[in-house]
């Protein structure tokens, strides 16, 4: 596996985890913890966006 393949897999895993965390924040936790899960999920999606932008440049 080269560097671009590793970044692609990391991007896919981070997108999946971000969506799972946002889903937990929406559907499971109705109190303040839901806001935390949602914020962390958005952070995971932002990091996945950065990893996707780095493909081909590293």
pLDDT value of residue 27: 93
What's the whole-model pTM score?
0.85
Q: Where are the domains of the chain?
A: 3-54
Three-state secondary-structure class, residue 25: helix
Instruction: Encode pLDDT of 1-58 as tens digits.
Output: 888 888 899 999 999 999 999 999 999 988 899 999 999 999 999 999 998 888 877 7
pLDDT value of residue 50: 92
**In this structure, are residues 53 and 1 in contact, taking their beta carbons and an 8 Å threshold?**
no
């Amino acid at each position: 596996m080269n560097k671009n393949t590793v970044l692609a897999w990391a991007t896919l895993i981070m997108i999946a985890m971000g969506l799972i965390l946002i889903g937990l924040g929406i559907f499971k936790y109705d109190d303040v913890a839901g806001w935390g899960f949602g914020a962390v999920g958005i952070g995971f999606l932002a990091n996945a966006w950065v990893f996707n932008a780095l493909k081909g440049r590293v």
